[in-house]
Amino acid sequence: MTINGRVCTNTALAGDKFTATVTSATMGSNGAMIPAGATVVLEVASVDRADPVEDSRIEFRVRAIDVDGSARQADGDVTTLASLEKAQTSAGNEKTKVIGGAVAGAVLGQIFGHSTKSTVIGAAAGAAAGTAAARSARSTFACLPQGSAMRLTLSRDLVMRRGDI
């Protein structure tokens, strides 16, 4: 099966629900079949935000399987077959922080130095400070991309009526 959305360690919480789609028909031991295209409701069991980010983990458990519009409660383990990808976000517009730092530095340079040279030096120092602030505001996290392959192992029988198979 494949997950239908992107799941990231910076936003996913235990209890959050996602869906996955069965990619190939699966036959049970008693002849019942879960067809390709069935929807599986997953719940985030745990999120481990690690440093380094490559060691992060997101664990899921199955809650239900919807076969042709008929949802059945299900229990089981879910294994992600794809690796989490490293992602990065910024807490704000980096360009704005650099420009703001340069402007603030130029103003302070002019106030304290009263010369063009001190204004230019202040602007350069302010831009450097703005760049550092922009970099420190970045957040690195891990994501399971949409469409990632997963394996579902049911821990108990899925009860289906004869007309559902």
Where does the pLDDT of residue 30 fall: very low under 50, low under 70, confident under 90, or very high at 90 and above? confident
- For residue 35, tell me if it sits in a domain: yes
Please compute the mean of the pLDDT values over residues 138-143 and round it to a whole number: 83
Query: What total of structural domains would you count in the chain?
Result: 2
Specify the 3-state DSSP secondary structure of 61: strand
Q: Are residues 81 and 16 in the same domain?
A: yes
Considering the chain, what percentage of its residues have pLDDT values greater than 90? 41
Please compute the mean of the pLDDT values over residues 99-103 and round it to a whole number: 68
Res 16 pLDDT > 90: yes
Q: Are residues 125 and 156 in the same domain?
A: no
N-to-C CA span, the chain: 19
Which of these, 5, 160, 153, 2, lies nearest to 73 by C-alpha position? 160
Q: Are residues 74 and 110 in the same domain?
A: no
Distance CA 128, CA 137 (A): 14
Are the C-beta atoms of residues 62 and 41 closer than 8 Å to each other?
Answer: yes
Higher pLDDT, 14 or 122: 14
Higher pLDDT, 18 or 33: 18
Q: Are residues 14 and 72 in the same domain?
A: yes
Which of these, 75, 68, 44, lies nearest to 57 by C-alpha position? 44
Supply 102's token pair.
Answer: 């340069």
CA distances from 82 to 1, 11, 44, 118 (A): 12, 19, 16, 54
Res 9 pLDDT > 80: yes
Q: Are residues 46 and 121 in the same domain?
A: no
Report the range out of 13-22, 100-109, 152-161 with the highest average pLDDT: 13-22
The whole domain housing 68 covers 2-87+141-160
| 39-50 pLDDT per residue, tens | 999 999 999 998
Distance CA 130, CA 122 (A): 12
Res 31 pLDDT > 80: no
- For residue 114, tell me if it sits in a domain: yes
Say what the pLDDT of residue 33 is. 83
Q: Are residues 152 and 130 in the same domain?
A: no
Element (H, E) at 121: helix 116-136
DSSP 115: S
| 45-94 pLDDT per residue, tens | 999 998 888 899 999 999 999 988 888 899 888 999 989 999 887 655 66
Q: Are residues 29 and 78 in the same domain?
A: yes
- For residue 104, tell me if it sits in a domain: yes
Say what the pLDDT of residue 101 is. 65
- For residue 165, tell me if it sits in a domain: no
Q: Are residues 31 and 83 in the same domain?
A: yes
- For residue 99, tell me if it sits in a domain: yes
Distance CA 156, CA 165 (A): 17
Supply 156's token pair.
Answer: 């108990």
Q: Residue holding tokens 């799941």?
A: 7
Q: Are residues 32 and 83 in the same domain?
A: yes
Q: Are residues 37 and 107 in the same domain?
A: no
Q: Are residues 41 and 119 in the same domain?
A: no
